[in-house]
A and B are shown apart, each in its own frame.
Chain A
């Protein structure tokens, strides 16, 4: 039996080698197996509407796509999961998408929606704030890193003669903004539907301004480049399922309202069908890229380069894929 003795050192070395090797082999197997596409979206806001409908009505399965769906609390969280390689396709605001494309391997495969009307700056009803100008020196909740925050800081505040340093920005997830306003932790928030509507309906806040005057707020359907290159047919099948959900949203709004209301209520929101109907009426769901979308991304990237958040301008003409959407629509 003495021959079978294993020293502690050799046991540690061999177990380390096994763990290291299994990491590589595991990844190799995972890559080679025909795994489903993973799709992620933010289920806490209106920007996840089409994903919610697709999931509830199983439009992806009906379109022949093999998709596993994951939901997140924000677009930045979805983007981070994509960069980590855990999610293949995601619904992202323009700002998280820009960082994902510039610093990792994300590409746009369609536009999920144009959401300018869904975002708003809301002030607490007891704060006495009547205009964006009055936000000077006040605490404003916003989700740092989101497109909503970007437009608020770079377009709305300057339009009223303010800069970021004039306010105390409080990094707050969208879903917590109404509670923060109600508790008096913040005086206002820059948020996305349904939260401005909830604040108004519950008489907690008033909408100072919505974003439609300042930005079209494209919400991007993004995918990881290796997935697009390795499995274009699977991505096209996914897009067909997405387009089916878009069709349902546009053709049967009552059903869409019921589906989305059920999902929001399932998350613990006290929200009526009336508020959801109002929220959905603000969405411009059109998967096509508007002309000049590259220029839109370039403008935003230039600001981030100036702020030293991006090192260089991404090649936007290579980061927007039109072929897959065309194929899915044909």
Chain B
């Protein structure tokens, strides 16, 4: 067995052990008699309920309705919030105009809007989806804004020095630099969207949805049904984390070397210098150590379009690494948007 496989099996076993421990604690709690069995059903009853709800299709149907509301709401929120956040981060007038609004609305829980949304838009899907949009909007806008603000000015200056145009500046420097924040914002936004959708489904009463299932089951003391719906939400959350966000992180910021801990087997043969700088800019020692040890940081010929000889030599965080030097590179001269032909040689 290869080392990587052994590690992944170990990680799986650890995760399974955590779940098994939780189930064992629940079973002991359910059988202890501390609470009525109607409130704390044992694992057998819960499993039977899951099977029954899968068999009659109600679990799938309600899950799909809720998932659709989450995805639609999240997509709309993303489409509005991320450009707005970037605008706020890039232009002071946009920041001054929108920031007070964002700061005032941010602390208001999305569920608190539901009664008003119901009065304005009536019960059903529209009010519920609007709650999801509201819930997902603020983590996205806030993180996009902070992400742009956190882009290392060194990179911006370096790109400017090399004559990067607006497009290159945005797509080669700002967008990759902001991406870790946007991914984090998206993670938080999905979590908030779930909170919003369940609250919305309770109060705005659409026909179907996991929130409806939970609250209707409460009226009939169907704790097994309630727990089944909660498990469905948890499974979806796990799915999103493992198969959406981790993959997204791996193929974007991980691949670009923007996060120290991103897992990616394809980790960066041609790791751009910005990766070292990004990790260095966090000033966290483990990140710096990690960067220092990365062979791809050291191999000769690693190229950057967002650094300059001055920055390498003057930035103490990069100097601290003691890895890179700056050499003329004829291959870069004459490229569109490039005024100088230099490569960072990181030995």
Contacts and interface: CB of A to CB of B under 8 A. Distances in A.
Contacts of A100: 221
Contact of A171 (B37, B39, B216): B216
Nearest to A304: B220
A170 B205 contact: yes
Contact of B123 (A105, A139, A304): A139
Given A104-B221, A168-B207, A170-B205, A83 B123 contact: no
A74 B298 CA distance: 69
B331 interface: no
B212 interface: yes
B218 A80 contact: yes
Given A27-B34, A83-B36, A309 B222 contact: yes
Contacts of A170: 123, 205
B38 interface: yes
Contact of B220 (A84, A85, A143, A145): A145
A311 B35 CA distance: 20
A209 to B, nearest CB: 23
Interface string A132-174: 0000000100011110000000000000000000001011100
A185 B216 contact: no
A76 interface: yes
A99 B215 CA distance: 15
Chain A interface, DSSP helix/strand/loop, else mixed: mixed
Given A27-B34, A85-B36, A104-B38, A185 B122 contact: yes
Contact of B122 (A23, A99, A184): A184
Contacts of B219: 76, 96, 143-146, 171
Given A76-B219, A145-B216, A170-B123, A105 B118 contact: no
B36 A105 contact: yes
B119 interface: yes
Contact of B221 (A99, A144, A180): A99
Interface in A113-145: 139, 143-145
Contacts of B122: 184-185
Contacts of A172: 205
Contact of B35 (A85, A145, A171, A184): A85
Contacts of A308: 52
Interface string B26-62: 0000000011111100000000000010000000000
A168 B123 CA distance: 11
Nearest to A139: B123
B34 A99 contact: no
B27 to A, nearest CB: 16
A277 B112 CA distance: 36
A310 B80 CA distance: 47
B220 A99 contact: yes
Interface string B105-146: 000000000000011001100000000000000000000000
A16 B221 CA distance: 31
Contacts of A185: 118-119, 122-123
Interface of B: 34-39, 52, 118-119, 122-123, 205, 207, 212, 215-216, 218-222
Given A79-B221, A143-B219, A144-B216, 20 more contacts: A76-B219, A85-B36, A100-B221, A103-B38, A103-B221, A104-B36, A104-B37, A104-B38, A139-B123, A144-B219, A170-B123, A170-B205, A171-B215, A180-B118, A184-B122, A185-B119, A185-B122, A185-B123, A308-B52, A309-B220
Interface of A: 23, 27, 76, 79-80, 83-85, 96, 99-100, 103-105, 139, 143-146, 168, 170-172, 180, 183-186, 304, 308-309
What 8 pairs between A and B have smallest CB-CB spacing?
A145-B219, A103-B38, A170-B205, A104-B38, A99-B221, A104-B36, A103-B221, A144-B219
26 contacts: A27-B34, A76-B219, A79-B221, A80-B218, A83-B36, A83-B221, A84-B35, A85-B35, A96-B219, A100-B221, A103-B221, A104-B36, A104-B38, A104-B221, A139-B123, A144-B215, A144-B216, A145-B216, A145-B219, A170-B123, A171-B215, A172-B205, A180-B118, A180-B123, A308-B52, A309-B222
